[in-house]
A and B are shown apart, each in its own frame.
Chain A
Amino acid sequence: MQNPGDLELTRRGVLMGSAAAVALTTGPFTEPAHAAAKRQEPILSTVSFTVNGKPRRLELDTRTTLLDALRDHLHVTGPKKGCDHGQCGACTVLVAGRRINACLTLAVMHEGDSVTTIEGLGLPDGLHPMQAAFVKHDGYQCGYCTPGQICSAVAVLDEIKAGIPSHASTDLTTPPQATAAELRERMSGNICRCGAYSNIVDAITEVAGRQA
């Protein structure tokens, strides 16, 4: 809680809190019972995990999601908040190599975990092959969904390699292949409002081919 971003957040929190308090005190002198419950103090807890290889230790409100811990506390802003409800995939990160929605998991549940975000896959001076393929195939327009798409795409190829079946697999007992139908189904948890889907499939297909 010592960097400027945190202060900013705290200020915003305080402002919201005081607005609520003003609203309450303009009414009768006694507060409704639920108002007291609503103004409960935050409860803090500590957690340690690594982010893109760097050990991190945080003291957080237990309510903090992994996504908010990354973005607002650690300023790792690659993972995006699209919906905050598991419905869009913009927040996709890799935890111990597996893709998850960072918005639907609490930071305190990740003690000892290793978290990889888009920044950990590659930076402009050393792109991950999947990042380079997205650039080459124009796999985005506004780019908001892209960090999630790329993290997901990297995990999808690992899942196919590990033999994990999908809804598009016609036979459950033979190893799945990186066909367009498989890639579309496996990438369905990543919504792209700009509709870059066909270029995204092209980018992943190229990387899958290169890996094979």
Chain B
Amino acid sequence: MRPFTYERARSPAEAAAAAARSQGAKFIAGGTNLLDLMKLEIEAPPHLIDVNGLALDTIEATPDGGLRIGALVRNTDLAADGRVRRDYGLLSRALLAGASGQLRNKATTAGNLLQRTRCPYFYDTAQPCNKRQPGSGCGAIGGFSRQHAVVGGSEACIATHPSDMAVAMRALDATVETVKPDGATRSIPIADFHRLPGDTPHIETALAPGELIVAVTLPKPVGGVQLYRKVRDRASYAFALVSVGAIVQPDGSGRVALGGVAHKPWRIEAAEAEMPRGAKAVAAQLLAGANPTPANAFKLPLVERTLGAVLAEAKG
């Protein structure tokens, strides 16, 4: 790990100002992704701003009947919140399908959204990787690509976003609230938050340098049966090969988002019109234009079958 200076920020304004002062500084929340990457020198911030003292760890009702989730609410506490369990079951389920009890106790709402890919070439500093070192090439294309993206990839990068929580946030139409180093605030719809790789796979989100996430808000509950089904190489404590988050209404309409298939949580609103016609029709639209590798083409039928199982379960 490279040496770094360390400070504890006491307020969002202080954190933002600290970020403005120090080029290349990083916020640290749970640390479960950032420290992992710093040990491998994939991340090497010269300065860390500890945001754990910012008092952004509450979940509050919003005037329009939704919830405002502080950036520092731990994954365990978010999944266990009574309102989330009752009204946003998809979010609880997705969180509980991720990582381990120990990790969820530390992992935060903001950190989870910003966790980086688990592409093995990204993790191995001896390998080419456009995301880690722009212009160096992509080891996964033509390499070991079993876990990689089947839709939305580019010639520069076919990494997936590893978060389970983000899939639920996408289906629930969450909004990410931020403050920039100059104090300006903004709200970013989750659909626009994560980016596709294009030819700049190292730019992963809509955040500007030093921009701090303060909260994630959920609109008022939409009801329905809310399910999250994750398919992985072992029954627990593993990242998704494919995951399906779904909200199914009594009339068969609803929403679907996928994990494990793209550089961002994958949702195409137009595909949801097909829901009453069943999994095959929805999957065909979600995966239109898919460009799998020989090693991950199995994800296409796996998405359709997993979605089929979820829709069947929703019918009861």
Contacts and interface: CB of A to CB of B under 8 A. Distances in A.
A74 interface: no
A43 B3 contact: yes
A152 interface: yes
Contacts of A167: 93, 96-97, 236
A51 to B, nearest CB: 18
Given A89-B102, A104-B32, A104-B35, A37 B2 contact: yes
Interface string A143-185: 0000000001001100100111111010011000000000011
A106 B31 contact: yes
B92 interface: yes
Instruction: Please provide the 10 A-B residue pairs with the shortest distance between their CB atoms, ordered closest to farther.
Output: A189-B100, A188-B236, A188-B237, A172-B85, A164-B80, A167-B96, A62-B6, A63-B1, A40-B3, A98-B105
A155 B184 CA distance: 41
A99 B85 CA distance: 22
- Size class of B's contact patch? 35 or more
B4 A172 contact: no
B186 interface: no
Given A109-B52, A172-B85, A101 B80 contact: no
Contact of B101 (A65, A104, A155): A155
B89 interface: yes
A101 B102 CA distance: 6
A162 B102 CA distance: 16
Contacts of B237: 188-189
A100 interface: yes
B43 interface: no
A80 interface: no
A73 interface: no
Most central of B31, B85, B102, B105 by chain A CB within 10 Å: B102
B103 interface: yes
B89 A99 contact: no
A84 B39 CA distance: 9
Interface residues of A, number: 46
Nearest to B40: A85
A152 B31 contact: no
Nearest to A39: B3
Contacts of A65: 35
Contact of B3 (A61, A166, A188, A189): A61
Contacts of B97: 167
B272 to A, nearest CB: 24
A117 interface: no
Nearest to A109: B50
Contacts of A172: 85-86, 89, 92-93
Contact of A189 (B39, B50, B103): B103
B116 interface: no
B79 interface: yes
B103 A86 contact: yes
B76 interface: yes
B86 A186 contact: no
B173 interface: no
Contacts of A199: none
Given A165-B79, A165-B92, A188-B236, A109 B28 contact: yes
A27 interface: no
B36 interface: yes
B9 to A, nearest CB: 12
A73 to B, nearest CB: 16
Interface string A28-66: 000000000110111101000000000000000111010
Nearest to B50: A109
A172 B52 CA distance: 28
B146 interface: no
